Structure 1
């Protein structure tokens, strides 16, 4: 049986093995691709695919995540007036690079009874928003009680 370079390339990509391993597996299985794959699998020689930075599927996945995050808006409002409306990607990046400051600002937003929402273009209500409301209400009511107690002193 004559093994072609094309067969070796296909097996190499499928099993993530070297040229030599692919050639040997094909030779041992008379050029049968399925049998060669099975043989490599039984020998535990199939290597899991690693993430390669140059791999276009990895880059496409990153682009897809960025596009989805750009469609989701981080909105802060008070008394039905929008105070801040930015993409969630930008909000995440700001949060990462200015963590202590953004954490303090987030606490101030909650304490001052502003509403935080994550909105998608279709204006559907997300379950996360009700959880954000619950945390905001708890923090706000606790803060109000502390301030009231402090004023009574």
Structure 2
């Protein structure tokens, strides 16, 4: 059976195999395209399609869109007692942090020191796992402040 270039090209198009592998598989299978596909598959000669730079860029853009969507659905909340002081999408918080990181960190530290609670809230109001850690940090700061005040009161001599 003679193998022609059209058969080889068709097999290469379907499998991304080399000319040599496509020709060899067609010869082994007497020109039967389906059998040649199976032959290449069994011998692990089928290569995945190579992605182009455009494909990779498109994947990158899709990933960024997913992250932004998730960030917009997740809220960053600062509370004092039961009242909400600030509620922003995480995307905005990230942008502000990139633009002014020192101010953002300072504001967060001040919020914690003044007894505010920081939390993240998911799309349907569900709590995030990071909130447990943030609560522990806030509790530790409150306990430290109480201890410092108690130590200060003990260290201060009474006035007569």
Query: 1:28 maps to which residue?
Result: 24
The unaligned stretches of length 5 or more in structure 2 are: 27-32
- Answer yes or no: is the 8 Å Cα contact 1:73–1:87 preserved in 2: yes
SS of 2:8's equivalent? coil
Query: 1:141 maps to which residue?
Result: 143
Query: 2:121 maps to which residue?
Result: 119
Q: Deviations over 1:16-54 (max 9, x none)?
A: xxxxx633332232263354354447xxxx689779465
The unaligned stretches of length 5 or more in structure 1 are: 13-20
Cα distance, 1:9 vs. partner?
3.5
Q: Counterparts of 1:51 and 1:150 in 2: how far apart (Å)?
A: 67
Single out whichever of 81-90 and 58-67 deviates more from structure 2. 58-67
Query: 2:107 maps to which residue?
Result: 105
Q: Counterparts of 2:95 and 2:68 in 1: how far apart (Å)?
A: 12
Matched, 1:81 2:83: yes
Matched, 1:4 2:9: yes
Q: Structure 1 runs of 4+ off > 6 angstroms?
A: 47-51
Aligned length: 140
- Answer yes or no: is the 8 Å Cα contact 1:73–1:119 preserved in 2: yes
Cα distance, 1:110 vs. partner?
0.6
- Answer yes or no: is the 8 Å Cα contact 1:117–1:129 preserved in 2: yes
Matched, 1:92 2:94: yes
SS of 2:18's equivalent? helix
Over alpha carbons, which structure has the higher Rg?
A: 2
What's the RMSD between the two structures over aligned residues? 3.0
Is the alpha carbon distance of 1:100 and 1:120 closer, same or farther for their aligned partners in structure 2, counting shifts above 3 Å?
Answer: same
Q: Deviations over 1:62-112 (max 9, x none)?
A: 211211111000011112221111111221232233222211111111111
Is the alpha carbon distance of 1:4 and 1:125 closer, same or farther for their aligned partners in structure 2, counting shifts above 3 Å?
Answer: same
